Structure 1
Amino acid sequence: MAMPSDELAPSSVARVKVQKTDSDVTSSDSVVVEEPLEIRIKRGKSEDQLGITMRTPGADLELAAGFLWGEGFLKSPDELISVKVCADKSLSLRQRANVVIAEINENAEEAVRILERRFTITSACGVCGSTNISDLHKREVKKVEKAKHSIQELAQMVELLDGRQKIFEKTGGLHAAALVNPEGVAVWVREDVGRHNAVDKVIGAALMDKKLPLADWTLVVSGRVGYELVQKAVCAGISALVGVSAPTSLAVDLAAEFNLTLLAFARGGHAKQYLPS
């Protein structure tokens, strides 16, 4: 699947003026960029706005692809024809860079809640809620394969993020996600101001590389583990999810229901595994 690059995306880091509380001197500092990305879905000649997410520019095509997969707009990687930046000449380059169009096969099934998908997605939270649990069953999402790595090995995988959070090192203001293959190699690492966006980016990268489903792969995230991250992992067939911070009750319940190995508070080679009740 040939996918155009998104190299025209705005910068992910901006310089701003700052003044410390104990000084009259002003200086500059780096902050992470947060801008809207409009995701459109195209079927044949029909093109509709799917949603607008606040994201950190970069890997926007992967973000759109991963979002479509996690929300059930695709049943097979082959249904994704292309993902590209908008080419509407009536828009400025900046405006075009903030619009991504995903073309899918006309025969692809309608998503379970497609009429509810024209919304604004904030960078703070993904699409979440108990109604989504029934969606997964309606979509016939299968239980994931058991993780073959030991709990000790999984707990150490957060170290794979070390040195690979380049934007965080400059700004201290965003999340990271990594997809680790069965051999323990972090194949894709992405950053974003939204934790769910970072996950969509790595899953989208795997989708565009025709690697889904990701049996015996591990998703590593730099922050807390909410329901939406477990949902995205399960839909991608990922076997284990490791988070640096706390999980939520719904995340624990969903992981147990779909056999996902869930670890949280993973730091310094130690972690807590959350087990079925």
Structure 2
Amino acid sequence: MYGIKSFEIKKFGAKNVEKTPDLVAWEEPLEIRLGFGNEQNRQQKSISVTMRTPTGHDFELALGFLFTEGIISQIEDILSIHYCTDAGRQAEQNIVRIELKPSIEVDFRNSERYFYATSSCGVCGKATIEAIEQKCPIIPKSDFKVSVEFIQSLLKILTKHQVFFQYTGGLHAAMIHSPIDNEIGVLREDIGRHNALDKVIGAAFQANILPLKHNILVMSSRASFEIIQKAAMAGIPIIACVGAPSSLAIETAQSLGVTLIGFLRENGFNVYSHESRIE
């Protein structure tokens, strides 16, 4: 299965040792390259290298990353997106190149990252926290509300559709869900929680359905600062995480108008900010 690899291991039990195949999450680097500039002076820049799980959603990951970084704002900015090789030195499908239209001006000053980022890397790779906060939209107040019962049902839905996790136990999931039609909008898995979220937002970006102002984001992970930032960029008003939030995640959710839920369980949850959206 794509996204999963098998290894032969020795399994030590209480009374015996046996050889057995074990399924694990596939992890490989993905380099995101950007082509930009006018037709007479096209330039290429390597934006990021991240460790991700190749599940067939690399284009979504790249688009979601560029959108949440504020480098692109609409699908019409894109001229083309494709895999490329580096003179045969790089593996096929480990480099994604996105070509922007010549009319698109790119400003990298507020989007600087270290060149290499681990699959779990968050704000550590940013030039400044202030640069992120300045570009994030504040989620406006609205009549969008969800019931306690609906939120409690989300964990079962998430778990049911985590296909790769069921095989490996080693992947995070991000899911957007709308209570209006009660259907999963998009669910993506990755070894990195930020990558899983970029894939979800990239899918919504490709479908041209941003902002996701009537959707809930459900994460199998804890809530970090960057999870809040990415969700706010996509216009998501409510985030529900299985794990705990960090102090900076709570403070950011409070300042950006995001309802933040942590410790999501089938019998309860904690609300850390803007509880008025919970009925």
Assess same fold via TM > 0.5.
yes
Distance 1:77 1:144 in 2: 23
Partners of 2:30 and 2:162 lie apart in 1 by: 22
Q: Distance in 2 between matches of 1:140 and 1:113?
A: 12
CA shift, 1:74, in A, is 1.4
Please state if 1:163 is matched with 2:156: no
Equivalent of residue 258 in structure 1, options 244, 256, 260: 256
**C-alpha distance in structure 2 between counterparts of 1:145 and 1:102, whole Å:** 35
State the match for 1:245 in structure 2.
243
**Counterpart in the other structure of 1:230:** 228
How far apart are the structure 2 equivalents of 1:103 and 1:191?
26
Q: 1:225 to 1:202 in 2, by over 3 A?
A: same
For residue 174 of structure 1, the aligned residue among 171, 174, 198 is 171
1:47 to 44, 48, 72: 44
Within 5 Å, which residues of 2 pair with 1:211-226?
Answer: 211-226=209-224
What's the offset of the Cα at 1:57? 0.4
Structure 1 residue 133, shift from structure 2 partner: 4.1
> d(CA) in 1 for partners of 2:106 and 2:95?
24
- Per the alignment, residue 204 of structure 1 pairs with 202
Q: Displacement of 1:152 after TM fit?
A: 3.8
CA distance 1:119–1:87, shift in 2 (3 Å): closer
Shift of residue 86, structure 1, vs aligned partner: 1.3
2:120 is aligned with 1:124: yes
User: What displacement does 1:263 show?
Assistant: 0.6
Kept in 2, the 8 Å contact 1:39–1:101? The answer is yes
CA apart distance, 1:99: 0.5
What amino acid is aligned across from residue 272 of structure 2 in structure 1?
Answer: Y
In the alignment, which residue of structure 2 is the partner of 1:102? 98
Q: Deviations over 1:154-189 (max 9, x none)?
A: 332222213211111111111001011242321110
Q: Is the contact between residue 224 and residue 244 of structure 1 (CA under 8 Å) also seen in structure 2?
A: yes
- Matched length: 265
Select 2:7's aligned residue among 2, 16, 36.
16
Contact in 1 for aligned 2:222/2:242 (Cα 8 Å):
yes
1:144/1:190 Cα in 2 relative to 1: closer, same or farther (>3 Å)?
Answer: farther
| Root mean square deviation of aligned Cα | 2.3
The CA deviation string for residues 217-253 of structure 1, in whole angstroms up to 9 with x for no partner, is 1110011111110110001100100001111111101
1:61 alignment counterpart:
59
Cα pair distance change 1:145/1:34, threshold 3 Å = farther
**What whole-Å deviation, never above 9, does each CA across 1:4-27 have from its counterpart, x for those lacking one?**
xxxxxx931111011122333211
Please tell me the residue identity of whatever aligns with 1:108: E
| TM-score (norm. length: structure 2) | 0.87
3-state secondary structure, aligned to 1:95? coil
CA deviations on 1:169-216 (whole Å, 9 max, x unpaired) are: 111111001011242321110000000000000000000100111112
Q: 1:122/1:156 Cα in 2 relative to 1: closer, same or farther (>3 Å)?
A: same
8 Å CA contact 1:74–1:108 kept in 2: the answer is: no
Give the 3 Å change call, closer, same or farther, for CA 72–132 of structure 1 in structure 2. Answer: farther
- When normalised by structure 1's length, the TM-score is 0.87
Worse-superposed segment, 187-196 or 134-143: 134-143
Q: Tell me the distance in 2 between the aligned counterparts of 1:26 and 1:140.
A: 51
What is the alpha-carbon distance in structure 1 between the residues aligned to residue 136 and residue 219 of structure 2?
26
Q: Secondary structure at the match of 1:274?
A: strand
* Rounded Cα–Cα distance in structure 1 between residues aligned with 2:71 and 2:177: 25
How far is 1:140 from its partner? 5.8
Query: Where in structure 1 do 4 or more consecutive aligned residues deviate above 6 Å?
Result: none
Is the Cα–Cα contact under 8 Å of residues 40 and 102 in structure 1 kept in the other structure?
yes
Residue segments in structure 1 that go unaligned for 5+ positions in a row: 1-9
Contact 2:12 2:18 in 1 (8 A): no
Residues 1:258 and 1:130: Cα distance change in structure 2 (over 3 Å): farther
1:75 paired residue number? 73
Amino acid at match of 2:5: A
Tell me which residue corresponds to 1:91. Answer: 88
Once the two structures are TM-superposed, the CA of residue 30 in structure 1 deviates from its matched residue by 0.4
- Give the letter aligned to residue 130 of structure 2: S
Alpha-carbon shift at residue 42 of structure 1 (Å): 1.1
